[in-house]
Amino acid sequence: MNECTYIRSVRSSRATKPDRSSPFPLWAQIRDDLRSRVESGEFGTAFPGELALVEEYGVSRHTVREALRQLRAEGLVIAERGRPPRLAVPAEIEQPLGALYSLFASVEAAGRVQRSVVRVLDIRADGVFAARLGLEESAPLLHLERLRLADDEPLAVDRVWLPAELAAPLREADFTHTSLYDELAARTGVRLTGGREVLRAVVPTPAERRLLGIDEGVAAFAVDRLGCAGDRPVEWRYTLVRGDRFTARAEFSAKGYRLDLAGAGTFALTK
């Protein structure tokens, strides 16, 4: 029996005891059986603890832990030291790569209520971010920092810098439940037309974990964005998004790699 045949033969709705004469490791058999049971909806929102799985499958705790480690690597189960394993919650907010998107719009499109807690809204000088916007280091910037919530649960920490000469009217805006881009267009007449963005996985600091309400085992996406209006840089943004509530999506085909531009065509990276 090859591995594909074995996987197809795994039954759901109850544990299938591992076959000790099989060439496949016990942990691999248990991993595949648990995956099948999860996908069939057997566990609902609960998940058996290590000791229960040891008894159910008749194997050692080390074997169960290896199976759980593999499921954790797949993003199916969250298994943390000193805490019982639990099913991972699917990411709620999906964003196509390559689009000039608004996190506000993405949250609303997912059927969630978007709200922000404004932590900072002021005018300041910051040579690093001024330089990133192509300005003199002493140029004043409008700085906005928000804790972004989806259904009152923390989703992201969002920090934005814009040229003060352009964005000063935003000091009067109420960002509790609105989009920065909508306010920018309404109060200054400026609309972003494009830019560039880098998305990377990071380990949040303890302070960031507290803000986002996540445990040490949960990673996050860091998004660096330079937003432009025509040829002019008008926004530098750093967003830290919870990895368990947000996912980025791209499309590819035999012809190459396509970024979904949300109705604005596609950008292809061909072979």
Domains and CATH numbers, the chain: 3-87 (1.10.10.10), 93-262 (3.40.1410.10)
Q: What is the pLDDT of residues 59-73, one digit of tens each?
A: 999 999 899 888 877
Region 103-116 average pLDDT: 70
Which residues pair with residue 239 across a beta bridge? 158, 223
pTM: 0.59
pLDDT of residue 70: 85
Q: What is the pLDDT of residues 207-231, one digit of tens each?
A: 999 999 888 878 888 989 999 999 9
Whether residue 30 has pLDDT greater than 50:
yes
Of 109-113, 167-171, 192-196, 240-244, least confident by mean pLDDT is 109-113
SS (H, E, C) 175-193: HHHCCHHHHHHHHHCCCCC
What DSSP string runs through 139-187?
A: -EEEEEEEEEEETTEEEEEEEEEEEHHHHGGGGG--GGGS-HHHHHHHH
Which phi and psi (to 5°) does residue 148 adopt? Answer: -90, 130
